[in-house]
Amino acid sequence: MQNQDRPDGVRVGVFVGHFLPAYRAGGPVRSLSAITAPRDSGVTYVAFTRDRDYGDSAPFAGARAGEVVRFHERNVMYVDIARPAAYLRALRRFTRIDHDVYYFNSAWNRPFTLVPLALISLGVIARRPVLLAPRGELMRGALDFKGWRKRAGLLVLRVLLARVGATIHCTSEEEAASVRKHLPGRPIELVADAFEAEDRLPAPQPDAPTPSDTLRVCFFSRIDRKKNLTGVLAAMAQVTEPVHLRVIGPASDQAYEQRCRDMAAKLPGHIRVEFMGPVPHEQAADALSWAHVFFFPTKAENFGHVVREAMAAGLCPVISDTTPWTDLARRAGGVALPWADTNGFARHLSVLARTPSEELGSLRAKVLDTYRSWAASQVPSPVLMDRLFERLAREPAAAPGVVAAVGPQRGSAGAPASQPRVGGSALDTDEHHDRHAPSGGR
C-alpha cells in the first residue's frame, strides 16, 4: 500500500528476465523500456533483472551486481542468477526498497517471478499489491510447448497468485480470454502494450528497397517454435516466383534453428535464404527497410512489437491471425491468415512476387499511410500504466495466507474492457473502467 508520508509519489518494483540494454529477448524489453521511461507522472520505476543479454556469457558494462544503477535514465538492479547466494542477497536488497507495487513480467520465469512470488506468499518479502503480465505465455500457441509441464505448473501458479492477491495485466482481449480460462477468478486489467513515445509518432519516410526483379521478404524475430520460422520456410517451398528471404533474429532453440537451416538448404533454386543473426533495436528500421514484405506466421502474440515496427518501415504485413494486428494489416493491404495455412501464404507471396515494382511502391505507401493514421490516434499506454499503478498503490495488499475468492474482472485503466484490437484507440477516460464477471475463453 502506498506510503502516504513519502512525498515522491508511487514507486514500482519491476521484475523482468531481461531489460535494457538487452535486445535479443524481444518485445518485453521494448514494452518495459517504454513503461519505465522518465516522465512527469509521479510514478517511478526500478527494475530487477539479469546482468546480461540473452545468450551472452559476460555481464553488461557498468552493471554492478546487486546495486541500483542508472542506465538511459532508468533505475536498474542487475543480478547474476548463476550465483544463487548473490541472487538472493540482491533480491532481499531490492525488495527492501520502499516499493508501493510489484510488477512481474512473466508467468514462468523462476528467478524473476516464481521465486519472489513464493517468498511474498510466505511473508519473507514485504507484501505489496502485485500486478503480473504473462506477456502471451498463457495463450494457446505458447502453452503448446512443454504443455504438460506448464499445465501442471498452472496449479502452482494459481495458488501463488491467489495468496498474494495478484491482478493480471493483459494487453489484448485474446490474452484476457486465455487468462480467464487458465487463471479463473484473477482480476484482469486490460491495457494495450507499450512502446516508446517517439515510436508512436509518424516516422520519417524510410528508404524504399532498391529496384529488384526479386521480391524481398523479411522474417524478423526470435528463431523458436512459437514464432514459426518452419512455417515460413514451408510456404517458401511452394512459392512459384523468385524470392529473397532474410531471417533476422537470435536463435533461442539451437535444435530448431538447425532444423530451419536444413529446410532452407532444400528449397528450390529460385528461393534465396540468408540467416542474418540478431540486430540491436536501434538498427531494426534499417534492417527492415531492405524488404518489401514482412512474413510472420507466429503461433501466438499478445502484442507483437515487430509487426508495428515492420509497418512503420513500410513493409506489407503477411502475418497470422493470432496477433492484435489482424485488422490493421488487412486495411494496409496485407493479409492475416491462420498460422498453419501454408498454401494460403504461398499463394499470396507468389502474387506479390509477380507484382510490378511500381505497384509494390504504391503498396508501401499505403502501408505507411495506414500505420501513421493509426499511430496518430493512439493514447500512449505508458500513461495508462502510470494511472493503473497509482490506483493499485491505493489498494491494500492481500493478507498473508489468504486465498482470494473469485472476484470481479476489471477492464483497462482507461479503455473499455471490450476493446479487442490494436487497430482501435484506447479511450483515455476513467468512465470506461468497467467491471464485469469473468467468463470462459479459449
pLDDT digit string (tens) for 105-139?
999 999 999 999 999 999 999 999 999 999 989 98
Same domain, 255 and 139: no
Instruction: Say what the pLDDT of residue 84 is.
Output: 95
Least confident of 12-21, 106-115, 348-357, 419-428: 419-428
Nearest to 387 by CA among 433, 425, 423, 424: 433
Instruction: Say what the pLDDT of residue 378 is.
Output: 80
Same domain, 287 and 350: yes
Within 10 angstroms of residue 211's Cβ, the number of other Cβ atoms is 8
Half-sphere exposure of 270 (CA within 13 A, CB side): 13
CA 123 – CA 35 distance, rounded (Å): 28
pTM of the shown model = 0.72
The answer to the question of residue 2 being in a domain is no
Q: Which secondary structure element, helix H or strand E, spans residue 8, and what is its range? A: none
Range of the structural domain that residue 410 is part of: 10-194+380-436
CA 218 – CA 318 distance, rounded (Å): 10
183 or 28: whose pLDDT is higher? 183
Q: 200 pLDDT exceeds 70?
A: no
| Residue finishing a domain among 342, 376, 410 | 376
Q: Tell me the pLDDT tens digit for each residue of 381-401.
A: 888 999 999 999 998 766 554
Cell of 179: 487468462
Question: What b/e sequence results for 6-29 when a residue is b if at least 16 CB atoms lie within 10 Å of its CB, and e otherwise?
Answer: eeeebbbbbbbbbbbbbbbbbbbb
CA 174 – CA 365 distance, rounded (Å): 30
Cell of 349: 507471396
Position of cell 517454435?
225
Q: 8 pLDDT exceeds 70?
A: no
Instruction: Say what the pLDDT of residue 376 is.
Output: 84
Q: Tell me the pLDDT tens digit for each residue of 39-78.
A: 888 999 999 999 998 888 888 988 888 899 999 899 999 9
| 3-state SS track over 101-136 | EEEECCCCCHHHHHHHHHHHHCCCCCCCCEEECCCC
Instruction: Say what the pLDDT of residue 57 is.
Output: 84
Instruction: Say what the pLDDT of residue 210 is.
Output: 59
Cell of 400: 498473508
| Residue finishing a domain among 327, 344, 376 | 376
Helix and strand numbers (H, E) in the chain are 15, 16
CA 168 – CA 178 distance, rounded (Å): 11
Is residue 329 a contact partner of residue 319, using CB atoms and an 8 Å limit? yes
Mean pLDDT taken over the chain:
85
CA 15 – CA 117 distance, rounded (Å): 11
Is residue 95 a contact partner of residue 44, using CB atoms and an 8 Å limit? no
Least confident of 151-160, 191-200, 218-227, 309-318: 191-200
CATH number at residue 27: 3.40.50.2000
Instruction: Say what the pLDDT of residue 266 is.
Output: 98
Same domain, 33 and 95: yes
Instruction: Say what the pLDDT of residue 402 is.
Output: 41
Number of domains in the chain: 2
The answer to the question of residue 130 being in a domain is yes
β-strands 10-15, 409-410 pairing: unpaired
Cell of 316: 506489407
Instruction: Say what the pLDDT of residue 405 is.
Output: 32
Same domain, 319 and 427: no
Instruction: Say what the pLDDT of residue 121 is.
Output: 96
Same domain, 48 and 103: yes
Same domain, 91 and 153: yes
Q: Counting beta carbons within 10 angstroms of the beta carbon of residue 1, is it exposed (0 to 12), middle (13 to 18) or buried (19 or more)?
A: middle
162 or 380: whose pLDDT is higher? 162
What secondary structure letter does DSSP report for 405? P
Give the distance from CA 376 to its chain's centroid: 21
Instruction: Say what the pLDDT of residue 24 is.
Output: 79
228 or 140: whose pLDDT is higher? 228
| Residue finishing a domain among 344, 376, 408 | 376
Q: 252 pLDDT exceeds 90?
A: no
Q: Region 79-105: what's the mean pLDDT?
A: 96
Q: Tell me the pLDDT tens digit for each residue of 342-365.
A: 999 999 999 999 999 999 999 999
Same domain, 88 and 127: yes
